[in-house]
């Protein structure tokens, strides 16, 4: 195969294709084609319209004109005006000796061109006004009425023959254009397509196309741009077939339930050609009955095809539609509106206030109740907003349920502190006051110890209690005490507080002796258990800064004795803290002696009651002159033998501490570590303190 021979053809095709793409512009003849002129006629205006590839008129384009045939053009080039049109003048040349002559004018611009056929009639040399070209209008006849629906094409043609009888005998004159010219603005009649041109035999069969407003009017048949004018003839344009409703106003409005939309619904009834159709019966109706009320509605289109209606919105909220249709419903269009919500009430139902640990979800969803004029309404969207870092489900949009409630799940962010979450709908808003805290201390049921003896448990009214757990004193080194040397204890020390919650709605903060961090696993807080704490179980809420931990079901016993001990002994062994009558403390170097009266410090003997019957409260010392004592009987054990204390008195200057005074038995064993214990007698059962010891000499 010889591909080389095919290459030029391919290139040609490519070139033509490219040329086609590049020449999407058009030159359209506005006036000049199909003209029939007499030799003596004054110049005739030729006009073309130049459009770009997008179909827009091109101003300032150079249009080149060329003439093939007889006659003359006024210029060879002109420029399009602001509307993209350019004109030239054609002057015919006197034609003797021929029936007629056809000239072709070519207008070129932007690489494309259009041709115009101009026919000049021959003339009698003896009388130049006697032109050879004649026109016979065959139809219509005078008085004929042509009618049709707007947009339709008549099957009854306007027929004419353009012919010449001259030196060359009878000849049909082709390419002459006839136009139908209406005398009524807005009611049109024209030749369909190219049916207005005469054929080779000079015959024209113009099929009228009706348009515009329905009306009776008149038209003239203009042949060859005015060579002959026939008529006028009557024509009537009737209402065409409705092709569409074109919405001209009032769509996409919004309003409150029951409101009259401010702008009327407006549409134009149009035929297939886009002409307005008058007197077309129309029907307006809401798509969903009851969602809107139609008033002042046009039952038929006006002279311009326009219809309108007013709409009163119903009570249904949201998008509603009104249908405009023909009586048969074959053509319709929809107007869409938004019925605004009328929120009459907006309240919080649940979730306010509450607290959550950082990066955790709040335990309760935020629940709001939307009350509308329409009653509980499902499907309304409530917008929740929260500060950055706080996460709202579903981008903060919650939808009401059938009860009109909307629920939103909130997740705390990294930053502790108060957070306001706002819910809004219909111009109303409510705020939820939430709190984000850090994680609380790590305490549990095993975290509670007697504050004196250190044995587990120790939760009894007025007792001194130690609560151990990581996170209680993070960052603290050593201890922070809670008192001011004198005076009551603080309930918040080093951002630590301990709340006891008991039966009967009891809540009481525990006075704090100290908050300590003595090393690993040595973070604790020493508190006085509230004296009023009911016996049974309690919930202990420990808050450290913004974090908190709640331990429920902590047993609360009537007593939980504990003997204070110290390691200040010279051998650094822990022994009971005992005070002699001379004010000196028992030590290895100053041991208690047999028969000597000493005082021990004990806690957990229950809530003290004074001799006069006053119950000592939380964070209180003993009553001066009205000694308070534990309510159960107290027994002291020395060297494994019972000793009845000479007195057990709630210390007047020490909170939660009893002073147990006893006499060292004369037969007590001696030595540095004589066993020592304190017990409370409850229902003939002894509740022992921590086992301790002290030196006896």
Partner 1 sequence: MVDFRRMIPVLAVIAFLLGSAVTASAQQTLSCVTNGAVNTPMRAEGLTEQTGDFLITCTGGTAIAYGAPVPTVNIQVFLNTAVTSRLMSSSSTLPQLSEALLLLDEPAPGAQYGCPNSNLTGGTCPAFGNGAGAPIYGASGLLLASNNRNVFQGIQTASNSITWLGIPIDPPGTSGTRIIRLTNLRGNANQLGVSGTNVTPVSVFATVTATPFNFLPVSGLATQSVGSVQRGLQFGVFSSTSSTSAFSPGSLQQCVSRGASDGSVAVLRYSELFATSFKRRNIATTSALPLASAEQNSLAGFLAGTYNTETGFTTGALAGGTTLPSMGSGFQAIGQADFGTRLKAVFNNVPNGVNLFVDRTATANGGADRADLTASETGGFVGVAATSGSPASGASTQLTVTNGSATAVWEVLDSQATSFAVLNFRVWATFTASPGTNSPALGVATVNGSYAPTSTVTTASPGPIPRFADTSSATNVFTIVPCVTTLLFPYVTSAFGFDTGLAISNTSLDSGVFNTSPQSGSCTLNWYGASFTGVTPTAVVNAGTTFTTLASTTLSNVTGGFTGYMIAQCRFQYAHGFAFVSDLGARNLAMGYLALIIPDYGLGTAAGARPASSLDKSPLGAGEQLGY
Query: How far apart are alpha carbons 298 and 321 in whole angstroms?
Result: 18
Query: Within 13 Å and on the Cβ side, how many CA atoms surround 25?
Result: 22
Look up tokens 């709630």; give the residue.
Answer: 650
Q: Report the nearest approach of partner 1 to the CB of residue 36 (Å).
A: 10
Whether the Cβ atoms of residue 46 and residue 72 lie closer than 8 Å to each other: no
Query: How far apart are alpha carbons 569 and 575 in whole angstroms?
Result: 8
Provide the β-strand partners of residue 449: 456, 466
Which sign does the torsion angle of CA 410, 412, 418, 422 carry? Answer: negative
Q: Report the nearest approach of partner 1 to the CB of residue 86 (Å).
A: 23
Q: Six-digit token pair at 450?
A: 């007697």
Q: Report the nearest approach of partner 1 to the CB of residue 184 (Å).
A: 8
Which sign does the torsion angle of CA 168, 171, 177, 180 carry? Answer: positive
- Secondary structure (3-state) at 112: strand
Query: Within 13 Å and on the Cβ side, how many CA atoms surround 158?
Result: 38
Closer residue to partner 1, CB minimum distance, 215 or 652: 215
Query: How far apart are alpha carbons 635 and 686 in whole angstroms?
Result: 8
Q: Report the nearest approach of partner 1 to the CB of residue 381 (Å).
A: 21
Q: Report the nearest approach of partner 1 to the CB of residue 147 (Å).
A: 16
Chain residues binding partner 1 by CB under 8 A are: 38, 40-41, 127, 129-131, 134-135, 137, 141-144, 183, 218, 221-223, 225-232, 255-256, 259-263
Q: Six-digit token pair at 176?
A: 């002459």
Q: Report the nearest approach of partner 1 to the CB of residue 175 (Å).
A: 18
Which sign does the torsion angle of CA 139, 144, 147, 151 carry? Answer: positive
Eight-state DSSP code of residue 16? H
Look up tokens 């005998």; give the residue.
Answer: 169
Q: Report the nearest approach of partner 1 to the CB of residue 138 (Å).
A: 10
Q: Report the nearest approach of partner 1 to the CB of residue 188 (Å).
A: 15
Whether the Cβ atoms of residue 221 and residue 146 lie closer than 8 Å to each other: no
Closer residue to partner 1, CB minimum distance, 14 or 145: 145
Instruction: Write the CA distances from 171 to 92, 137, 164, 165, 229, integer angstroms.
Output: 20, 16, 5, 7, 21
Closer residue to partner 1, CB minimum distance, 93 or 256: 256
Query: How far apart are alpha carbons 466 and 551 in whole angstroms?
Result: 14
Closer residue to partner 1, CB minimum distance, 41 or 80: 41
Q: Which helix (H) or strand (E) holds 19?
A: helix 3-22
Q: Report the nearest approach of partner 1 to the CB of residue 183 (Å).
A: 5
DSSP code string of 192-252: -TTTTB--TTSEEEE-EEEEES-EEEEEEEEETTTTEEEEEEEEEEEP----EEEEEE-TT
Q: Six-digit token pair at 5?
A: 């021979």
**How wide is the angle at C-alpha 366 spanned by C-alphas 363 and 372, nearest 5°?**
160
Closer residue to partner 1, CB minimum distance, 38 or 607: 38
Closer residue to partner 1, CB minimum distance, 127 or 567: 127
Closer residue to partner 1, CB minimum distance, 21 or 141: 141
User: What is the phi/psi pair of residue 498, to 5°?
Assistant: -130, 120
Query: How far apart are alpha carbons 287 and 174 in whole angstroms?
Result: 57
Whether the Cβ atoms of residue 608 and residue 616 lie closer than 8 Å to each other: yes
Provide the β-strand partners of residue 502: 506
Closer residue to partner 1, CB minimum distance, 135 or 648: 135
Closer residue to partner 1, CB minimum distance, 259 or 287: 259
Closer residue to partner 1, CB minimum distance, 120 or 557: 120
Q: Report the nearest approach of partner 1 to the CB of residue 262 (Å).
A: 6
Closer residue to partner 1, CB minimum distance, 212 or 608: 212
Q: Report the nearest approach of partner 1 to the CB of residue 306 (Å).
A: 15
Closer residue to partner 1, CB minimum distance, 229 or 424: 229
Closer residue to partner 1, CB minimum distance, 120 or 131: 131
Q: Report the nearest approach of partner 1 to the CB of residue 96 (Å).
A: 16
Q: Report the nearest approach of partner 1 to the CB of residue 547 (Å).
A: 49
Query: How far apart are alpha carbons 252 and 311 in whole angstroms?
Result: 12
Query: How far apart are alpha carbons 409 and 391 in whole angstroms?
Result: 8
Query: How far apart are alpha carbons 350 and 369 in whole angstroms?
Result: 9
């Amino acid at each position: 195969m010889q591909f080389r021979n095919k290459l030029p053809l391919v290139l040609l095709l490519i070139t033509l294709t490219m040329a086609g793409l590049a020449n999407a512009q058009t030159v359209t003849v506005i006036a000049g084609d199909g003209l029939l002129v007499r030799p003596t006629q004054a110049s005739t205006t030729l006009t073309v319209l130049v459009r770009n590839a997008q179909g827009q008129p091109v101003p300032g384009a150079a249009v080149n004109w060329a003439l093939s045939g007889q006659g003359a053009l006024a210029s060879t080039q002109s420029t399009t005006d602001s509307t993209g049109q350019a004109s030239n003048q054609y002057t015919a040349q006197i034609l003797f000796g021929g029936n007629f002559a056809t000239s072709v004018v070519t207008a070129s611009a932007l690489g494309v061109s259009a041709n115009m056929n101009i026919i000049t009639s021959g003339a009698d040399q003896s009388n130049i006004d006697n032109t050879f070209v004649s026109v016979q209008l065959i139809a219509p006849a005078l008085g004929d009425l042509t009618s049709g629906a707007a947009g339709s094409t008549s099957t009854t043609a306007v027929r004419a023959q353009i012919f010449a009888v001259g030196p060359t005998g009878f000849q049909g004159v082709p390419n002459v254009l006839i136009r139908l010219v209406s005398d009524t603005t807005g009611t049109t009649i024209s030749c369909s397509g190219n049916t207005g041109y005469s054929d080779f035999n000079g015959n024209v069969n113009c099929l009228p196309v009706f348009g515009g407003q329905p009306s009776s009017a008149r038209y003239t048949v203009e042949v060859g741009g005015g060579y002959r004018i026939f008529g006028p003839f009557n024509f009537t344009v009737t209402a065409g077939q409705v092709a569409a409703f074109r919405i001209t106003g009032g769509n996409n409005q919004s309003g409150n339930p029951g409101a009259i939309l401010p702008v009327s619904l407006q549409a134009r009834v149009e035929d297939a050609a886009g002409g307005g159709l008058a007197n077309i019966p129309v029907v307006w109706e809401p798509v969903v009955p009851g969602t809107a009320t139609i008033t002042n509605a046009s039952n038929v289109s006006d002279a311009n095809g326009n219809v309108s209606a007013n709409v009163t919105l119903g009570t249904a909220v949201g998008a509603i539609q009104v249908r405009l249709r023909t009586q048969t419903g074959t053509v319709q269009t929809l107007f869409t509106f938004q019925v605004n919500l009328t929120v009459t009430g907006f309240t919080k139902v649940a979730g306010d206030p509450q607290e959550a640990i950082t990066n955790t979800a709040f335990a309760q969803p935020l629940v709001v109740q939307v009350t509308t004029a329409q009653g509980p309404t499902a499907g309304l969207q409530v917008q929740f907003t929260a500060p950055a870092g706080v996460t709202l489900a579903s981008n903060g949009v919650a939808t009401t349920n059938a009860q009109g409630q909307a629920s939103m799940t909130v997740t705390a962010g990294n930053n502790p502190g108060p957070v306001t979450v706002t819910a809004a709908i219909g111009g109303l808003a409510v705020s939820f006051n939430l709190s984000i805290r850090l994680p609380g201390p790590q305490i549990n049921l095993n975290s509670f110890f007697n504050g004196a003896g250190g044995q587990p448990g120790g939760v009894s009214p007025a007792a001194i209690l130690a609560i151990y757990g990581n996170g209680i004193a993070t960052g603290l080194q050593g201890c922070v005490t809670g008192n001011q040397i004198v005076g009551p204890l603080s309930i918040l020390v080093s951002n630590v507080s301990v709340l006891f919650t008991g039966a009967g709605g009891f809540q009481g903060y525990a006075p704090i002796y100290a908050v300590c961090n003595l090393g690993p696993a040595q973070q604790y807080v020493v508190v006085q258990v509230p004296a009023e704490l009911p016996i049974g179980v309690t919930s202990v809420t420990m808050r450290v800064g913004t974090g908190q931990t709640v331990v429920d079901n902590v047993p609360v016993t009537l007593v939980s004795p504990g003997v204070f001990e110290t390691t200040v002994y010279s051998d650094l062994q822990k022994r009971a803290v005992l005070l002699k009558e001379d004010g000196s403390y028992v030590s290895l170097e100053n041991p208690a002696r047999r028969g000597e009266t000493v005082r021990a410090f004990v806690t957990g003997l229950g809530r003290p009651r004074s001799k006069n019957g006053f119950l000592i409260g939380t964070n209180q010392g003993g009553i001066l002159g009205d000694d308070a004592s534990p309510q159960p009987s107290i027994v002291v054990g020395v060297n494994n033998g019972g000793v009845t204390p000479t007195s057990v008195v709630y210390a007047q200057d020490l909170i939660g501490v009893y002073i147990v005074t006893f006499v060292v038995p004369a037969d007590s064993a001696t030595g540095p570590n004589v066993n020592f214990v304190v017990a409370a007698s409850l229902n003939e059962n002894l509740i022992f303190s921590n086992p301790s010891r002290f030196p006896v000499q």
